[in-house]
Structure 1
Amino acid sequence: MATVEPVVGEPAAVADLGGERALLVADVHAGIEVGLRYERGVELESRADERRDRLCSLIDGTGVDRLVVLGDLAHRVGAPEGEEREELAALVSAVTERVPLTLVEGNHDAGVADAFADDVDVIEPGGGRLGTGIETGHGETEGGIAVLHGHTRPDPSLRSAEVVCMGHEHPQVRLEDAVGGSRTERAWLRGPLKPSVFGDGDAGDGSGTESSPPSSGPELVVFPAFNERSGGTWINVEGGSFLAPFLPEGLAAGDAYLLDGTRLGDFRRV
């Protein structure tokens, strides 16, 4: 059975792929300070070294055999250059000195695969499987763990996976106390996907009610952003705007979890 276990207190999870174990993270957004400088004129001290050290510490601490980035390894849209490319080069080098690196191409990763073709294994935006599933008699694969970034619909071939892992949303929850104070925290979102997400039709009726028909699709795990400066989607705020073209309608149900493992329950009611 495919397992994806979050690392307590971290925006990362370990996936058991049978023959190997992989550390999964999403939305590293290396070079974000450079991007914010050009995009918004905001000057922030770079946390490049801190991000790289934190990621390498997770690899070392979990003893995994591979790192998988679920898209948006880079921040600026376009081929990496200048300071951003330098940060990416240092990050890729530090990771690949330890384990192989797989990148699921995200909407911010244009040119990254070409720039680091000798160092990074690439999965196209529609997604793919990690490890090996069970071969059927029809030349298809069932079970296992599928990965994609989330800015496109998943490839129909992933319908038979047990678990689908994605990034892109940067899910967050806004929590309020009894006296009106509030804070925002990164969160996980997990729930069963409706099978129609993998087809060409509607991803669901969008009602999100308990009367919605049960789904026989795989479990979806939406990863919090690894980069704490990248903002995100408030998944528990009415009228919140999801980024993925199949969310939230494509979820039959879904629970939100904080990084420390606290289960908040139905994300629509948090």
Structure 2
Amino acid sequence: MAAAPRSGATLHIKPPDGFSTRGEASSVSKRWKDWLAAFEIYLDVANVGKDSRKRALLLHTAGLEVQEICRGLFSNSAVATYTDLVTALNKHFIPVGNFRHERFVFNSCAQKQDESVSAYTTRLRKLAATCEFEKIKGEDDIIIDQIIAKCNSKHLRRELLQEPNLTLGRVLEIARVMETTNKTRRVKEQQLCIRCGREGHNPNDKGRCPAADRYCHYCGKKGHFQPMCRLRWVEDDNEDKDYEEENACKSQ
């Protein structure tokens, strides 16, 4: 029978991999929370109790990028404790929560194929924890969340999610301005040349269109100016799709 490990024997436990600070802010925030939780489990299992050793291990394990950030955070004073270090890094990596954004992610969360209702409920509970549902003041708050989740305009949704202290009146104001601008633009676009963006001639009238023999600075093709480049419009639309998909991934 194998001998039991001696009391006080050192356990050789692998710490978490280094932490990368690169990426979109909300992604970095989530990864930091997960990394810190894994690191503190490592400290507990490795029985590391001395404060100075915990600080040193965190900085060594997290890696050069986090060390560089700490030099900026504590440039004028020494780090007093491990708790001070963790608090400062949390403030750096975890921005003030945007509950409207969190509710949008919650409302976008659909049950996966072959996912049990129990597992789906667990995911919803996790998402709900940061939605501040307890602060809902009335039907206006619920209507705002529904507009953000289900409005047709991706541009309006993005605008609303970036707006602080949102009220239903402010939602309607932003929407009216955007709708009026879009309507005016559509009417004007019907009167504009699709090559140069100017009025007074047909796009096929190369003798009058100043863009006929010019090259686009965006796609490099001949026959239109950069503001009228269709490739640019497609890529702008793809950015909006990426934004939607990114938030959908957060709900999974």
TM beyond 0.5: no
Instruction: Report which of the two structures shows the higher radius of gyration computed on alpha carbons.
Output: 2
TM superposition score normalised by structure 1: 0.24
Specify which structure has the higher proportion of helix: 2
Q: Whose strand proportion is higher, 1 or 2? A: 1
Q: TM-score, normalised by structure 2?
A: 0.25
